[in-house]
Amino acid sequence: MLKIEQCRKLNISSLDTNDGCSHIAEAECDGQKFPVAYAFDLNDDSRVVNISFQSNNKIQKQTIAIEMVELPLGDKAYFGCDCGKRCSILYQKPDGGVFACRECHKLVYEVKTINKNLMGGVLYKMNRLECLLQKRKKINHIFYDGKPTKKVAQFIHLREKWCV
């Protein structure tokens, strides 16, 4: 079973422009970064982003649909996976190949592969603790405008939920 944690993740939020020029985004896996060149092609009838990246020592190209969703605070862009699913993150398997959603790549979260009761639940707790530590590393600001940031709120929520 392939785990999400083993894959390279390309988040739509790392593609931050729509001016039609080429730019470099980064796919990420376990703290390592991998460059992904991209250029948007946004017409009235087709919205796509063309990406190119290294896969097995070759440059691979891929065209991904972009879906815009209207939200109260402005439009939000999503990737449209070939299966029709709308998602913010696409994944590339460790052995290379195209980016696709986690259903298409049949990915599972590591935590789903751990038996909660094994060793009295110690392994499960360790895994959750590791996950929290990773999340803590990604928190740059504790407060914004006098309130805990979204990441901090999520961190606190998960810590309470997992009791670690």
Binding residues for Zn ion (CB under 5 A):
81, 83, 85, 100-101, 104
CB of 124 to Zn ion, least distance (A): 29
Is the CB of 36 or the CB of 90 nearer to Zn ion?
90
* Angstrom distances, CA of residue 146 to CA of 29, 47, 136, 142, 149: 32, 38, 19, 9, 9
Q: Which residues contact 39 (CB under 8 A, 6 or more apart)?
A: 20, 21, 22, 23, 49, 50
CB of 152 to Zn ion, least distance (A): 31
CB of 102 to Zn ion, least distance (A): 8
Is the CB of 48 or the CB of 139 nearer to Zn ion?
48
Q: Name the residue among 67, 61, 65, 66 with its Cα closest to residue 98.
A: 61
Is the CB of 98 or the CB of 124 nearer to Zn ion?
98
CB of 79 to Zn ion, least distance (A): 9
Between CA 49 and CA 38 the distance in angstroms is: 7
Between CA 158 and CA 152 the distance in angstroms is: 10
Is the CB of 8 or the CB of 128 nearer to Zn ion?
8
Q: Name the phi and psi angles at 18, rounded to 5.
A: -135, 35
Is the CB of 102 or the CB of 128 nearer to Zn ion?
102
CB of 101 to Zn ion, least distance (A): 3
